[in-house]
């Protein structure tokens, strides 16, 4: 067996191709050399490109004979070979070409009629990649049969598709837990690799955007790169091609609000506002303000979580907790957006609706004896989802939070990779970083540690194949730590539109240190902290940004010192909150 290793590929721009109208932001193909070539026999050669990417091949033969070659593309391996019968929708393809002369030739997998046809019966239709690329698919490995002689590294390249503006140096994260570092890199690369279509698509099976998928993708894209156009293009496509789940519609409001917080751009927001209002589910509100579901909605469109087996036994009722939590979160954000574009009366109406409905939400859905939220009116069952969605959305009053947190701490990752975004947000936001981090790195098959240990290079659609047998192995909604780690462990999050004001609120859990770079429209935010006998942090903010500093009150601390000087700070719930805003570069210590 002949094997040789190649140094990491030099990546060069092949060409930029702007997809057809309504399809995508600019994307490009880049040349990637193999990282390893192995001669399995005198007839078969195995090529490893190191990571999965969407693309195809270009051959540059040095021989001139008329030669038939067979190519196998694969996402998965089995016993050291490409798995030619992978599970579910994990990708494998075979194609044959004839090489003539010494001219470069593109080798592409066969077209999948479901996601590469210009017109199909699918609604919404698949997002297409540029015709001039030929067909692309996700693969890491290639097996070649019939290659005459030795295959040299410069004779085969992968043409991998990514966002044309992707910047590998835009973001960084490192901490004292090497598993978390590997999880960060897995999730960061997952966002990069799934930009191939220029629109946030749901992996390779359908290549269409879904609202919930798109929002989670947007959050992580913001924390790993500087591009804002892809989220906007995805939003505009979803406005015209909405999908079916009830809770997916409010995610459009979440997407618009995230854009507003990221950019502060009223010109983009204003013309989209009227259609946006239709996504709050208000047409289903009853006299008490709560959202009602009819039989068909209960049976099909009220989704709670996906796949169905990830619902923690959720009991669906006519007025259920998760749907109403999404409604409340949506109208709360709509009030912000209405004010942003000068519609103050409508903002006040949303505020009034929120207050009324939130009161009924507490009255009808909270079980005061157990200190938890029931799944809905008419059932005593209390699921994971009925509690972490309200917590993440800021709907749980302070006096009820400890009961909800106690309940959530008693459970594991009893939800999908999608809903985990909200479960972990709720935990991080309410002083349970230790629990959140333990779930991310748990030694079971329902964690990101399991994904890392599997050897995958792009996050999955589900925790494991057994939980969703038809899952994609290239799904960005499984990459939540790409936004969670910088937002809550480093602690950087915008609290004013356009990142004019930022919260720096690290949640160390049991970590000893963390450092990283967070991309913002004003420039990168650099943060480094240490959590030893005392908590120390240094930060560098770009020009035009101020920070509210909120630090853990480690040990018997008496206050916060910035650049060696004691500053005014207030202690609240085990944290020191610095009263005055900060700017520029600073160092702080809790002691």
DSSP codes of every residue in 324-376: HHHHHHHHHHHHHHHHHTT-HHHHHHHHHHHHHHHHHHHHHHEETTTTEE-SB
14 or 261, greater pLDDT: 261
What is the per-residue pLDDT for 24? 52
What is the per-residue pLDDT for 249? 98
CA distance 61 to 96: 15
CA distance 326 to 320: 11
What is the per-residue pLDDT for 114? 81
Domain boundaries, given as residue ranges, for the chain: 2-163, 244-409, 497-590
Angle at 419 between CA 373 and CA 319, to 5 degrees: 40
Per the CB < 8 A criterion, the answer to whether 181 and 174 are in contact is yes
285 or 3, greater pLDDT: 285
Residue pLDDT, tens place only, 161-216: 999 999 999 999 999 999 999 999 999 999 999 999 999 999 999 999 999 999 99
Mean pLDDT of 65-92: 93
Asked if residue 17 has pLDDT above 90, the reply is no
CA distance 130 to 114: 16
Average pLDDT, the chain: 94
Q: Is the dihedral of CA 252, 258, 260, 262 positive or negative?
A: negative
Which of 441, 444, 453, 445 is CA-nearest to residue 485? 441
What is the per-residue pLDDT for 549? 98
Per the CB < 8 A criterion, the answer to whether 30 and 58 are in contact is no
What is the per-residue pLDDT for 436? 98
Asked if residue 455 has pLDDT above 90, the reply is yes
Asked if residue 490 has pLDDT above 80, the reply is yes
What is the per-residue pLDDT for 5? 41
What is the per-residue pLDDT for 339? 98
What is the per-residue pLDDT for 120? 61
Q: 8 falls in which pLDDT band (50, 70, 90)?
A: very low
Asked if residue 288 has pLDDT above 80, the reply is yes
Residue pLDDT, tens place only, 131-168: 999 999 999 999 999 998 889 999 999 999 999 999 99
What is the per-residue pLDDT for 3? 45
Residue pLDDT, tens place only, 330-340: 999 999 999 99
Class for the domain spanning 2-163 = mainly beta
What is the per-residue pLDDT for 289? 98
Superfamily of domain 497-590: Maltose phosphorylase, domain 3 (2.60.420.10)
Q: Is the dihedral of CA 530, 536, 542, 546 positive or negative?
A: positive
Q: How far, CA to CA in Å, does 361 sit from each of 367, 448, 506?
A: 11, 33, 31
CA distance 298 to 315: 10
Task: Tell me, rounded to whole angstroms, the distance of Cα 506 from its chain centroid.
Answer: 20
Asked if residue 122 has pLDDT above 70, the reply is no
Q: 19 falls in which pLDDT band (50, 70, 90)?
A: very low
What is the per-residue pLDDT for 118? 65
What is the per-residue pLDDT for 64? 66
Residue pLDDT, tens place only, 243-255: 999 999 999 999 9
What is the per-residue pLDDT for 7? 38
Q: 65 falls in which pLDDT band (50, 70, 90)?
A: low
Mean pLDDT of 52-72: 89
What is the per-residue pLDDT for 196? 97
Question: In this prediction, what percent of the chain has a pLDDT beyond 90?
Answer: 89
Mean pLDDT of 517-541: 97
pTM confidence score: 0.94
What is the per-residue pLDDT for 99? 83
Mean pLDDT of 411-415: 98
Q: Which two tokens stand for residue 294?
A: 């009819």
What is the per-residue pLDDT for 365? 98
Q: 119 falls in which pLDDT band (50, 70, 90)?
A: low
Q: 417 falls in which pLDDT band (50, 70, 90)?
A: very high
Report the phi/psi class of residue 140: left, alpha or beta, with left for phi > 0 and alpha for psi in -120 to 50: alpha
Asked if residue 21 has pLDDT above 80, the reply is no
What is the per-residue pLDDT for 497? 98
Lowest mean pLDDT among 93-102, 312-321, 446-455: 93-102
CATH topology of domain 244-409: Glycosyltransferase (1.50.10)
Mean pLDDT of 501-530: 98
CA distance 336 to 359: 20
């Amino acid at each position: 067996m002949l094997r040789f290793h190649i140094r990491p590929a030099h990546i060069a721009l092949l060409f930029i191709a702007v997809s057809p109208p309504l399809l995508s932001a600019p994307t490009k193909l880049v040349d990637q050399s193999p990282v390893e070539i192995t001669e399995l026999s005198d007839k078969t050669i195995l090529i490893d490109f190191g990571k999965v990417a969407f693309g195809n091949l270009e051959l540059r033969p040095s021989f001139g004979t008329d030669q038939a070659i067979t190519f196998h593309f694969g996402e998965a391996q089995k016993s050291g070979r490409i798995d030619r019968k992978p599970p579910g929708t994990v990708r494998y393809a075979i194609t044959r070409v004839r090489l003539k002369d010494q001219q470069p030739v593109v080798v592409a997998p066969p077209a999948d009629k479901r996601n590469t046809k210009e017109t199909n019966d699918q609604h919404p239709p698949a997002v297409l990649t540029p015709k001039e690329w030929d067909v692309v698919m996700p693969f890491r490995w290639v097996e070649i049969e019939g290659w005459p002689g030795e295959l040299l590294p410069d004779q085969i390249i992968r043409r991998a598709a990514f966002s044309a503006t992707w910047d590998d140096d835009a973001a960084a994260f490192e901490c004292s837990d090497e598993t978390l570092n590997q999880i960060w890199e897995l999730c960061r690369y997952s966002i990069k690799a799934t930009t191939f279509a220029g629109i946030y698509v749901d992996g390779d099976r359908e290549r269409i955007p879904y609202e919930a998928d798109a929002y989670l993708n947007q959050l992580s894209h913001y924390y790993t790169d500087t591009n804002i156009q892809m989220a906007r293009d995805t939003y505009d496509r979803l406005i015209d091609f909405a999908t079916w789940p009830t809770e997916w519609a409010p995610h459009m409001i979440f997407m618009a609000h995230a854009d507003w917080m990221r950019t502060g751009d009223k010109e983009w927001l204003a013309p989209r506002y009227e259609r946006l209002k239709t996504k709050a589910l208000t047409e289903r509100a009853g006299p008490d303000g709560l959202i009602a579901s009819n039989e068909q909605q209960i049976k099909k469109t009220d989704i709670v979580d996906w796949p169905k087996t990830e619902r923690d036994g959720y009991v669906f009722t006519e007025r259920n907790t998760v749907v109403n939590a999404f409604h409340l979160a949506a109208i709360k954000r709509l009030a912000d957006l209405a004010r942003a574009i000068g519609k103050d009366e409508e903002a006040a109406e949303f505020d009034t609706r929120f207050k009324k409905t939130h009161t009924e939400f507490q009255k009808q859905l909270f079980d005061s004896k157990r200190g938890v939220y029931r799944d809905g009116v008419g059932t005593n069952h209390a699921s994971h989802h009925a509690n972490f969605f309200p917590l993440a959305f800021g709907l749980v009053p302070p006096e009820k939070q400890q009961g909800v947190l106690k309940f959530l701490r008693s459970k594991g990752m009893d939800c999908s990779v999608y809903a985990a975004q909200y479960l972990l947000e709720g935990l991080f936001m309410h002083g349970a970083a230790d629990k959140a981090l333990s779930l991310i790195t748990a030694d079971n098959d329902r964690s990101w540690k399991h994904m890392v240990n599997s050897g995958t290079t792009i996050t999955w659609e589900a925790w494991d194949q057994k939980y969703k047998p038809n899952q994609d192995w290239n799904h960005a909604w499984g990459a939540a730590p790409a936004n969670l780690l910088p937002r809550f462990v480093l602690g950087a999050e915008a609290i004013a539109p356009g990142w004019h004001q930022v919260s720096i609120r690290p949640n160390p859990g049991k970590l000893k240190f963390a450092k990283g770079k967070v991309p913002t429209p004003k420039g990168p935010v650099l943060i480094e902290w240490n959590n030893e006998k005392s908590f120390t942090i240094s930060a560098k903010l770009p020009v035009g940004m101020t920070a509210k500093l909120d630090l853990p009150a480690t040990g018997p601390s008496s206050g916060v010192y910035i650049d060696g000087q004691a500053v005014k700070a207030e202690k609240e719930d085990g944290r020191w909150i610095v009263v005055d805003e900060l700017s520029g570069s600073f160092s702080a210590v809790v002691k």
